[in-house]
Each structure stands twice: as structure tokens, then as C-alpha cells.
Amino acid sequence: MPDLLLELFSEEIPARMQRKAADDLRKLVTDALVERGLVYEGAKAFATPRRLALHVAGLPVRGRDVREERKGPRVGAPDAAIQGFLKASGLSSLDQATIVSDPKKGDSYIAVIEKPGQETIAAIAEIVPAVIRSFPWPKSMRWGKASAAGASLRWVRPLHSILCTFGAETEDPEVVAFDVDGIVSGNVTYGHRFHAPGAITVKRFDDYVASLEKAKVVLDADRRKEIILADAKTLAFAQGLELVEDEGLLEEVAGLVEWPVVLMGSFEERFLDIPAETIRATIRANQKCFVLRDPATGNLANRFLLTANLVASDGGTAITAGNGRVVRARLSDAAYFWQTDRGPLPDLDTLQASADKLGLDLSKPLDQRMAKLDKLGVVFHAKLGTQGERVQRIAALARELAPIAGADAEKAERAAKLAKADLPTEMVGEFPELQGLMGRRYAELQGEDASAAAAIEEHYKPLGPSDRVPSDPVSVAVALADKLDTLVGFWAIDEKPTGSKDPYALRRAALGVIRLVVENGVRLPLAQVVKDADLLSFFHDRLKVMLRDQGARHDLVDAVLGEGASGSDDLLLITRRVAALSRFLETEDGKSLLAGYKRAANILKAEEKKDGEGAFAGAADLQLIADAGLIEEKALAVALSQATPKAEAAVAAEDYEGAMSALAEIRPAVDAFFDKVTVNDPDPALRANRLKLLNQLRAATLAVADFGRIAG
């Protein structure tokens, strides 16, 4: 079976786009092949900084022949109908049509059209140019002479050549001939930009990979990653050090080289006074280098690992020296920031008003920064005021929430006041990703309480479904205050997330609140802070999404929130109730009771249509049951009268397991009732009484959850 080899050779593709681009290429080409009935055995795509490549193995030489029958008019039909039939089916005369006989309708024409399968190579020649022209790059560009015309080809960076061959292993593959805006497909590629820039003629995938390897190009990004990681570890080990692994950086670095060469550089030990996170951040962000640590102490070492794209003729001396210079320059900047941020601001005298407003102590560096942030009037959002105003709100809210989170109110308020104070620091200005963390460091240095300092870092958390949730009560209080202020604010100005648009990450903030509350067991009466019913239902929606993502049954959220259920603003209780209900519904008792409930509800619905809504409200007449009812009827009445108050009391006591057990107690009676009792008895009194019983059953379950909202 023949294989397809495709390579799109361009100028340097941004590292962050390579993997997805390779996936897109594979998917778009193979989907188009399959759409034409060309199934294949396997497909794999690759990316380097300068090329996307695709190998599709085991394609047929041509697609399957298609035989199509087209029904025509009756024999002897008017000429217009005959002509129309011939035209539509591509026949030149009726001689080419077949006549079929039908005992009822008589004889009619049929055209049998044999469509030979398309040659695969021809299909590829159509598919690939179309894929190239509509490729889903996140950002694309025009270039060169052709860009003078309006609709010139777009690619992520200038596209230089296209290699496309198709053929079986046993023969020389053919070039799939096509042309995309003047780039003619061929069987030529190019090696490493500096080591082997010459043209390389390629037959098929095997020799393509081997030739590239010889020309200092490792095609597979995962292999480049393995090489970098293995070499980095070896170099670290040789120095008695340990690599600080960083998957994101590894992925990026592998997208910056075709031939990875790992080298070790160093910097002065004095820089190790700077916080380790800062060293790592600057070396990572600016230089895309790995850092190392001493396995004995866990402290950073004054070494770094860079990944070059060159086997240098001097063994890498110049490359290492050059990178070292830049790293040193960057660390000098960081050291300067670290020092400056801990010293007094020059314009202290202008900050008194802000300090008074926020209750800050201007003798402390971080307080000065917060006062500065307020003084600068940095706008948080045009309609939501400045950062200073926001911090005031968060501090007040953190104080209010502190008892609920079990935190000391003073500490929570203090932490909130300093939570954004690192924003105007030099360090965070340079490395925004260190926000929070630097605030914590500076807070510790000026002697803040340990919990308050930690809260400065942790109040941003959790940043998503998999981020760690802080557990220190002070952190929880400030984190809740920060997120709730954001949500309430944006709801107040009607800037809610819509569809895929959520520029202020409000969904993430709501999820953060939910996780903070649920995972720390915080009983937060949301309605105290959230007055907007729409925002409350947004929380409910996010809770459903969270439960669904965790594989839980989100329909149960609706059930416990259903009418009649109390405490809908307490996310912790909702979650616990959902969990209890979910466990109950997995038991035999639960399944059976749900089935019984549904049956009761269906019967009631049907009968209420006849007798009117509320016709069966009120308690069943026990005397009537005693006089004329069945034993099962009585048993249900007794079970309900015992279980219902139990379930209600358990719910009131927030003992949801207890409420479920109470419900479980009525299950045998329900089963027996439906087994033996005919609800719609000819005697209208008996019928009404039985329907009342069912209504009582419905009411009993409603104490725990609205079973009517449970799916299935």
C-alpha cells in the first residue's frame, strides 16, 4: 500500500504553535482523504521550527469504484422527460439505459452509472493545496511580491517549499504535482540552517527522516525533548546537581531548535541572594534556559542550562559565554529590583493621603507601594474604579468574611490591604508572573504575620480547576473577598461572560469561590454578599460544570436546588447534598424509590389533569384506609408518617445521609403499594385517598430533593 509524505518548509514557526499545527495538518488532510473514501492505516505529523511534515501510511492507489443507479421515466414517457433523464444521468441515448419491469407501474428506464474511483494521487493534489490555503494558524501573514495582490497566500511565516510524494515502498514514489501561489510541489527539502542548508532529494518517509537526521534535523519534537532532557540531566549529574524540570519550557525549547545541543553556563554566586523564583523566572522567560539545584539542600545553584541549535566548532565556548553575559545582565537587573523594592520610595511625602485612606504604615516598604498604587490612580476597570478603591472594598469584605472562614479579622484585613501592593514594584513590573509571590516575600521581610504574608500570595488562587486551593483561613478569606468583589462588580456593570467570551475570567473566579468554599468546608451564605439573583444562578451553573467535569451528576444540582429546597446560596451544603443524593441513587433503595417516585408523579400528573391542580393535597384519610383500604396502603401511610418528619429533621440538621436513610425506609412500602394497590379504584373516595398518599410520597422526597429533576 502506498504512503503519502508531505512537508511544508517555511521560515521559523513560533514554538508555541508547532504542536497544534502538526495536529491540524494531520487531521485536515486525513479527514479530507476519508471523506473521499480513501482510508489509511496510520498517520503521524511532525513539526520543527522550519517545517510541518505529515506521513500517511497504507493508502489505496485509487478510491473504490462507485456504481450508481438512477431511476428514469416510464417507457414511452414524453420526450422532455426522456431528454431530462439522459442529461441528468450523462447518457447519450436511450440505448445506454436499462429497462426494468414492475408488475404495477410497468416498464421504466434506469441508468447505471459506473464511476471509477479517483486516483489517490489526484485526490491528494486537490486536498493539500486546499488545506494549505485555509490552514487554521492563530495568526498568519502575507509576504513578498505576491502580497501586492489582495488575496495572496497566508501562512504563519513565509512558506518556501512543499515536498509531496506518493507511492509504494517497492517503487520510486511520484511527486504529487500541484502549485500553491507559485510554490510548486517537489521532492526536495533542506537540512539544518547552518549545518546542512543544501537541497536534499527525498523519496519517502523512511529516507526523509534519515536524510534529515544526517542533515542535523531531528524531525520529531518528542525526540528532541527526550534528547534535551536526557542531556540536561547528564550535564547536571556530572556537576553533582539536579535539573529543575519544567515541562512548559522543555516544550518551548524543543520548538526552537532542529538539532538540540545542551550546554551549561554559570553566573556569580552573589546573585543567589535574589529569591529563587526570580532567578528562575528571569532565566526562563528571557533566556529560555533551565536552572539547577543542589540535591542536598534544594537550593538553586549558580548554573544554568541552555539549548543551542548548533554543534559549534569551538565546542560551545562562545555560545556559553554569550548566554552567560545576558543571564548576568538580567540577574543584575533583578538584583537591582530586589534591592530597590525593599527600600523607601523617593516620593514618600506625596503618599500620606493614600496611606491615611487605606490605613497604611508608611515606614514599611510594601505599605509605601500600596499607597503609591492608590496615588497613581491606576484604573482597575473604567466603571469599577481604581485599584486603590478596589483594595479598600476587598479589605472590608475580607474582614467581614474572616469569621466565616475561621480567620482572624485583623490579619485578613491587613493581608487584603497588602494583597495588591506588589503590583507597582519593579520586580513585578518586570516579571508579572511573580505577582503575589513577591508581595509575600516583601511582606515577610517587613515582619508581617506569616498567615497574612502567605495570603498575599495565595489570594489569587485557585487559578483554575486543577490549581491548588489555599487552606489557611486568612488566605481563604482574602481569596474569597478578591473573587467576590470582582464578580459582584462586573455583574453590577453588566459585563457578564457570554459564549466563549470571558475577558475578565469571571467563570474562573466563580469556580474559585466554589472550590474555596467546598474544599475548605466553609459555610458561606452567599446571599449576604451576592444580592443579584442572576449572579447566584451563575454560581449554580458553575457548580454544575464543576461537578460534570469531575464526572459527577450535575442534574442532581438541579434536583437539590429544586423548589422547596432551602439553602440555595450555601454552595457547601448544595455540594454535600448532591453527594449524599448521588450515593443514595446508586443504592437499590435509591433506584427503586426514584422509580416509585416517577410512577407516583406520572399518575398524579395524569389524575390532576382530570381533577385539577392540588386536588389531592392534604393528608390521606387514615380511617378510610383502616375501613376499606388494603394492608399495603396502610403500610405506606404509616411509613410516610414516620419517615417524612425524620427526613425533614435530618435536612434541617444538614444530615443528608440521615435524610437519605429516612427515605430509604419508605421504599419497601412504596414497592409493595405499587405491587398490590390499584390507585384508580372505581370508588372515588378510595381513589382520591390513594392519590393523596402518592402526593404525600412526592412531598416526602421533596424535603430532600426534587426527584422530578433527576434525569433517567
* Binding residues for another protein (CB under 8 A): 11-12, 14-16, 49, 139, 141-150, 156-158, 160, 194, 256-257, 287-289, 306, 308-310, 312-314, 317-319, 321-323, 325-327, 329, 332, 376-379, 382
Shortest CB 425 distance to another protein, Å: 16
| Nearest Cα residue to 383 out of 227, 492, 529 | 492
C-alpha cell at 686: 378510595
C-alpha cell at 51: 517545517
C-alpha cell at 55: 506521513
| Nearest Cα residue to 166 out of 177, 158, 156 | 177
Shortest CB 285 distance to another protein, Å: 12
Closer to another protein by Cβ: residue 64 or 328: 328
Closer to another protein by Cβ: residue 105 or 139: 139
Contact in structure between 275 and 311 (CB atoms under 8 Å): no
Closer to another protein by Cβ: residue 288 or 496: 288
Closer to another protein by Cβ: residue 319 or 693: 319
Shortest CB 23 distance to another protein, Å: 19
Residue matched to cell numbers 486568612 = 474
Shortest CB 326 distance to another protein, Å: 5
Paired with 47 in beta bridges are 52
Residue matched to cell numbers 495572496 = 152
Closer to another protein by Cβ: residue 283 or 476: 283
Residue matched to cell numbers 439553602 = 567
Query: Hey, what amino acid is at 475?
Result: S
d(CA 617, CA 620): 9
Shortest CB 22 distance to another protein, Å: 16
d(CA 289, CA 233): 14
d(CA 272, CA 266): 12
Contact in structure between 54 and 6 (CB atoms under 8 Å): yes
Q: Exposure of 71 by Cβ count < 10 A (0-12 exposed, 13-18 middle, 19+ buried)?
A: exposed
Shortest CB 310 distance to another protein, Å: 5
Output the 3-class SS for 393-416.
Answer: HHHHHHHHHHHHHCCCHHHHHHHH
Number of residues in the chain: 712
Closer to another protein by Cβ: residue 62 or 195: 195
If you compute the radius of gyration of the chain from its CA atoms, what whole number of angstroms results?
A: 36
Which of 365-385 are b and which e, b meaning 16 or more Cβ less than 10 Å from the residue's Cβ? Answer: bbbbbbbbbbbeeeebeeebe
Shortest CB 337 distance to another protein, Å: 12
Shortest CB 202 distance to another protein, Å: 22
Closer to another protein by Cβ: residue 327 or 543: 327
d(CA 444, CA 314): 47
Shortest CB 316 distance to another protein, Å: 8
DSSP H/E element including 68: strand 66-74
Contact in structure between 572 and 523 (CB atoms under 8 Å): yes
Contact in structure between 670 and 593 (CB atoms under 8 Å): yes
Shortest CB 188 distance to another protein, Å: 16
Closer to another protein by Cβ: residue 344 or 525: 344
| Nearest Cα residue to 364 out of 428, 448, 430, 423 | 448
Residue matched to cell numbers 508555541 = 16
Shortest CB 194 distance to another protein, Å: 5
**3-class DSSP state for residue 476?**
helix
Output the 3-class SS for 205-229.
Answer: HHHHHHHHHHCCCCCCHHHHHHHHH
Shortest CB 308 distance to another protein, Å: 4
Contact in structure between 558 and 548 (CB atoms under 8 Å): no
How many alpha carbons lie under 13 Å from residue 132 in its C-beta half-sphere? 33
| Nearest Cα residue to 55 out of 70, 45, 40 | 45
Closer to another protein by Cβ: residue 61 or 326: 326
What is the biggest distance separating any 2 CA atoms in the chain, rounded to whole angstroms?
107
Closer to another protein by Cβ: residue 376 or 396: 376
Shortest CB 238 distance to another protein, Å: 22
Shortest CB 144 distance to another protein, Å: 5
Closer to another protein by Cβ: residue 149 or 533: 149
Closer to another protein by Cβ: residue 382 or 533: 382
| Nearest Cα residue to 527 out of 515, 540, 518, 516 | 540
Shortest CB 152 distance to another protein, Å: 9
d(CA 434, CA 421): 13
Closer to another protein by Cβ: residue 152 or 211: 152
Shortest CB 362 distance to another protein, Å: 20
Output the 3-class SS for 275-324.
Answer: CHHHHHHHHHHHHCCEEEECCCCCCEEEEEEEEECCCCCCCCHHHHHHHH
Closer to another protein by Cβ: residue 386 or 592: 386
d(CA 649, CA 655): 8
